[in-house]
Amino acid sequence: MTHEFRLPDIGEGLTEAEIVRWLVPEGGRVEADQPVVEVETDKAVVEIPAPYAGIVIRHGGAEGETIAVGSVLVVIGEPSDTGPPQVEEVPEGTLTEPSATPPTVEESQPTQVAPIVGSISEEAELLSSRDRADDTVASDQVKALPIVRKLAREIGVDLTTIEGSGPDGRVTREDVLAAAARAEIGVSAVPSTSPEPAPEAAEAHPAPPQPGQQVTHDGGDERRPMTRLRRTIAANMARSWAEIPHVTTFDEVDATRLLEIRSALGARHDVKIPMEALVVKAVIPALQTFPEFNATLEGDELVVHGRYDIGIAVDATDGLMVTVIGDAAGLGVLELATEVRRLGEGARSRSLSPDELTGQTFTVSNIGAVGGGHGTPIVPYGTVAILSVGRAREKVIVADGDLAIAPVMPLSLSFDHRVIDGAQGRRFMSLVIENLEEPALFLAG
């Protein structure tokens, strides 16, 4: 029997994914739970296992192609199959990291935690009534996903003027971005019904740039299409900045004792202790004292989280990523150090699973790692505060009435002013400073 396996929702709100690499060719044999394809989502590159054994009859898309959640990902069966394919229903479960052993797909009841691999989200491609009304005419003429139509509306691109490069002439996100790029440099998009242009016209209408391709124009300017990750970062930053009224408070901390403890722990255990591990450990008591900093604002209600899932900003090759240390309050300094290193390496190699990149309740950003001092960090959407830590530099301070030279670390705390007042922000910062100046206060807890 032949089965159609459709792209499942492998992350919160996922609507589409790009096929990076097929691990089993058409005509090849695949075993149950064997990774069959590698796909890239907004933040991660993950492997998707086949739900059963058989022959790969057909791939649902070529490498580099973007397909929507719910679209046929792969058809698996036997060479002798002649009947119509059956749609494979994927039970809710968990997808492992690409480097891990593929999981066994087991039946389970839905839980309140968003599934990594699970039933297709019914909301993934739903539009508001206004969106549907706007798309009525275009839907009769152009093949495009709702998310692509929305992008076209937002940047002012007429879908009817675009020749789709996707399957069956479907207009893709890259087609829309390329059309917008041509419009910016004064080149009109070629309608899908236009005849082949003459050689002279072809020179005036260059082919649209592909993702990652650098295009040089007269005057030396370069047009670089944004990567999927960069577009995701841009969208998240814009949403946070537009919807959250930010306030940032600044301070400094004498990091003498903190650096001494860091050095002593590293020497005792023969391991480098990331600064983030100590900062997270110092922040946890402050979050416990001021729980509204470990919260999410949902409408008129503040959801105060019982877990402390701390986000760590990572300067990855493709852009800033926030990894998540789950239940950080239950980890010691050495365990936190191990997690910070593991998540940092995973973010840079794009090998983390979606649940390791989402769901933080508070965020720490160590801009000191790249030489930064004070900053104005943007609060990640879905949280209410973020603490930025700068590089410690020697400065003259007053200690016990005398002048002294000490390593001084800049701190910047941004918070959502709808939830947190200035005085509350200062009290939180004061407790963090107290802990950082005397690590025994949080190491003893």
Rounded to 5 degrees, φ, ψ at 51 are -80, -10
Rounded to 10 degrees, what is the CA torsion of 16, 17, 19, 23?
A: -110
Among candidate residues 346, 353, 343, the one with its CA nearest the CA of residue 96: 353
Query: What does DSSP say about strands 16-22 and 35-40: parallel, antiparallel, or unpaired?
Result: antiparallel
Residues across the chain: 445
Q: What is the DSSP letter of 8?
A: P
At residue 381, what is the residue type? Y
Q: Which residues lie closer than 8 Å to 171 by C-beta, 6 or more apart? A: 142, 143, 144, 148, 152, 159, 162, 164, 165
SS3 212: coil
417 is a catalytic site residue: yes
**Which of 7, 35, 21 has the alpha carbon at shortest distance from 118?**
7
Residue 203's contacts (CB-CB under 8 Å, 6 or more residues apart) are: none
* Pair 356, 343: CB distance under 8 Å: yes
Distance CA 111, CA 131 (A): 31
Q: Token pair for residue 115? A: 């599934």
Do the Cβ atoms of 286 and 280 come closer than 8 Å? Answer: no
Read out DSSP for 346-367? HHHHT---GGGSS--SEEEEEG
- Both tokens assigned to 4: 């159609």
Report the catalytic residues: 417
